[in-house]
Amino acid sequence: MKNSVGYRVFKAGNFAYLSLIALCMFLPFLIILSVSFSSEATVTKFGYSLFPRELSLDAYRFVFSAGTMGSGYIVSVIVTLAGTVLAVVITSLAGYALSRKNLKYRNFFALAFYFTMVFNGGLVPWYIIVTRLGLKDSLWALIIPMCFNPFNMLLIRNFFQTLPDALVESAKLDGAGEFKTFIRIIIPISLPGLATITLFYMLGYWNDWWLALNFIDNEKLYPLQFLLRKILSNISYAASGMATTFNIATIPQETVKMATCVVTIGPIILIYPFVQRYFIKGITVGAVKG
């Protein structure tokens, strides 16, 4: 009974337990935010704290002092949006095709996709293919190599397999083809699965710096993550004592590290609440049936 004393005690206990877990999860982010707005001197003297002992924007001034930081944000947003849309379209089409039992050689294609999750050709063949396709030093070099992930494809395929076959059969009886059935019937009821792989791809594109390191020489095409990595590398190099062009005393080392975390996770935190209700259902339903 929902009105019984035992139920109310159980509900209060669950609420307290989940609140404690949420607090434990939130505290590291609060510390990161606090240190990023603290002065380097207080962090060095007193260490990390939940609240800034002395407010300072030096870390953010240092991070955004690079003239290319604004263009890096623009590049990251363009690559993330365009890459995510392209990747979700390709992945969902492949996953839907493999979910259909009437597809010839379906098991062979599924095995071929799975094989690439276990083995790959290595960095050199991958680099040669990208450069021979003329993608080097272009935004496509940051989009194309990540626009398909076999794990995400298998995840959305498993989600499609949980949908009733009667929906597809009814659409065919009404004269709809495979593509029209996919667009009009499958997509609207597959939002949880699509939201899940969308978030995975978005995180992958937003956090990527490896592609820029290998294929981008033009500073105007550097994404945000690569620029932040350069800043942290310069700080580490200066701190090692090997650099002569840096004055390490003027560089807010620890606070800059925390400021870069805040700068990078901000957009994702703003987006996640809109896909959260779909994400949990999509990851559980898509992972159960293999």
Q: What is the mean pLDDT of residues 104-128?
A: 85
Confidence of residue 80 (pLDDT cuts 50, 70, 90): very high
In a domain? residue 10: no
Confidence of residue 142 (pLDDT cuts 50, 70, 90): very high
Comparing 208 with 175, the larger pLDDT belongs to 208
In a domain? residue 41: no
Per residue, what are the HEC states of 84-135? HHHHHHHHHHHHHHHHCCCCCCHHHHHHHHHHHHHCCCCHHHHHHHHHHCCC
Q: Which domain holds residue 140?
A: 59-288
In a domain? residue 163: yes
In a domain? residue 88: yes
Domain count within the chain: 1
Q: Has residue 289 got a pLDDT over 60?
A: no
Confidence of residue 238 (pLDDT cuts 50, 70, 90): low
| Residue of 46, 38, 24, 66 lying closest to 259 (CA atoms) | 38
Which residue bears the tokens 């990851």? 283
pLDDT reported for residue 242: 55
Give the global pTM.
Answer: 0.77
In a domain? residue 220: yes
* % the chain with pLDDT above 90: 16
Q: Has residue 203 got a pLDDT over 80?
A: yes
Cα separation, 20 vs 23, in Å, equals: 5
In a domain? residue 22: no
Say which CATH number the domain at 93 has: 1.10.3720.10
In a domain? residue 14: no
Q: Has residue 66 got a pLDDT over 70?
A: no
In a domain? residue 195: yes
Q: What is the mean pLDDT of residues 123-139?
A: 88
Q: What is the mean pLDDT of residues 29-39?
A: 88
